[in-house]
Amino acid sequence: MLNSLFILNTSGDVILEKHWKSVIHRSICDYFFDAQKRASSPEDVPPVISTPHHYLVSVYHNQVYFVAVTTLEAPPLMVIEFLHRVVDTFKEYFDECSDSSIKDNYVIVFELLDEMLDNGFPLATESNILQELIKPPNFFRNISNQVTGKTNVSETLPTGQLSNIPWRRAGVKYTNNESYFDVVEEIDAIIDKQGSTVFSEIQGYIDCCCKLSGMPDLTMTFMNPRLLDDVSFHPCVRFKRWENERLLSFVPPDGNFRLLSYHIGSQSMVAIPMYVRHSIVLKDGTGGKIDLTVGPKQSMGKILEDVIVEVPMPKSVQNCNLSASQGKYSFDPTTKVLTWDVGKIELGKPPTLRGSVSVNTTAGAGSVEQPTINVRFKINQLAVSGLKVNRLDMYGEKYKPFKGVKYLTKAGRFQIRT
């Protein structure tokens, strides 16, 4: 499937190359750099590029490109999915997957890639198995390795690979047995000029942090499982029981994982918890005026927190001179993004941002396009779809674990057209 993998950064350096079959010269990356030059933003590089003899499949994450090279037909999505799995693994090991974190941990990166792929085909991609094979770096281990000359390669044998539940390692022991579940819902919406909702849907997921000893078998039931009609599960969830009884039964992996993600489509109505009143007038030459007001709407008695309004301004805008009744605003003249950090929206007077904008006269004789407004917010202790966990039972182990469920609603791709 994969012949080679190149890790590149946006400035055009090859940070790392790894070959599973014969060596492919790194000049192959020139094709990729060409495509990168042509693209207007790093996001815009096409994920699959065809060259005379090779095919380049790439993934972009945090200023780093992962470019896989294959010579033969292979399902592109499989390669992409695998590369994202690599990114996720790096994130788990080094907290972030970036240029510098890879450079700092070359050895571990190579070790990981060696285990994740065998002859170009995925071998062990479960993080539990990998952590058994290669210990994640931490400060103390780094020091002791320096002193003793050891590596992070684990000395015990990775028995997890052999079991039928590859996602859980064996012999887990904790003094405090606890499991936390975060029900997070993201609202995706497009709101048009008049303030009516063009499109809205909910993307939800349940992230877990399970620190339970032994082999616990958990069962989670929901108050209203009917809400979840479009779900995807972690492989540990027993699908048949979900189909028949609408409950989640699973042996959890150790540590953090995403238990399920669900999607509540645009067919059902979604309550939009906030509104933005806007009047943005950008006129060529004379400058323009901005007037933004944000406020809560249908927020079910909860308070909107961490509200951030972002307006990517057109290129011709030079500077903004505004005043905010609450929070701070900033305008980045290079990226042309106006950011207004509102913070918490209390009941009472809704926060406003007013002022004038100076527009470059020379840029284009035509009209200035209207920007779109992106909004981010957070509502604690609320799942906007109404999903509720009913109870969580544990079988298979004797101790009583500590259980906790947290709800959170966030703005996903929340966009207001002006």
Which residues inside 4-23 make contact with another protein, applying CB under 8 A? Answer: 21-22
**For the window 285-324, what string marks contact with another protein as x by the rule CB under 8 A?**
---------------------------x-xx---------
Selected range binding another protein among 95-103, 122-130, 274-282, 347-355, rule: CB under 8 A: 122-130
- Residue 148, H or E segment: helix 139-148
347 in contact with another protein (CB under 8 A):
no
What's the token pair of residue 167? 């996602």
Region from 7-15, 192-200, 273-281, 352-360 binding another protein, contact rule CB under 8 A? 192-200
Q: Which two tokens stand for residue 68?
A: 């896989």
Q: Judged by CB under 8 A, which of 176, 286, 369, 381 binds another protein?
A: 369
Rounded-to-integer distance, Cα 225 and Cα 268, Å: 15
Q: What secondary structure letter does DSSP report for 266? A: T
Q: In the structure encoding, which two tokens stand for residue 390, read together? A: 């009913």
What stretches of 168-244 adopt beta strand conformation (E)?
178-191, 197-211, 217-222, 231-233
CA distances from 185 to 261, 263, 412 (A): 9, 9, 8
Instruction: Tell me how far the alpha carbon of residue 197 is from its chain's centroid.
Output: 25
73 near another protein (CB under 8 A)? yes
How many C-beta atoms lie closer than 10 Å to residue 399's C-beta? 13
Binding residue for another protein (CB under 8 A) from 59, 183, 210, 294? 59
**What is the closest distance, in whole angstroms, from the C-beta atom of residue 226 to another protein in the complex?**
15
CA nearest 383: which of 233, 259, 207, 202? 202
What is the closest distance, in whole angstroms, from the C-beta atom of residue 80 to another protein in the complex? 5
- Selected from 372, 376, 392, 405, the binder of another protein by CB under 8 A is 372
Told to check if 74 binds another protein by CB under 8 A, we report yes
Does 237 participate in binding another protein (rule CB under 8 A)? yes
Task: Look at strands 217-222 and 197-211 and give their pairing.
Answer: unpaired
Cβ atoms 275, 343 nearer than 8 A:
no
Give the nearest distance from C-beta 170 to another protein in angstroms: 5
Q: How many residues does the chain have?
A: 418
| Interaction between residue 75 and another protein (CB under 8 A) | yes
Figure out which of the listed residues 165, 281, 303, 308 binds another protein, where binding follows CB under 8 A. Answer: 165
Residue 84 is a binding residue for another protein (CB under 8 A): yes
- Contact predicate 317/248, CB 8 Å: no
The distance of closest approach from Cβ of residue 102 to another protein in the complex, given in angstroms and rounded to an integer, is: 19
Please tell me the count of residues contacting another protein according to CB under 8 A.
Answer: 103
Q: Give 139 or 155: the residue with its C-beta nearer to another protein.
A: 155
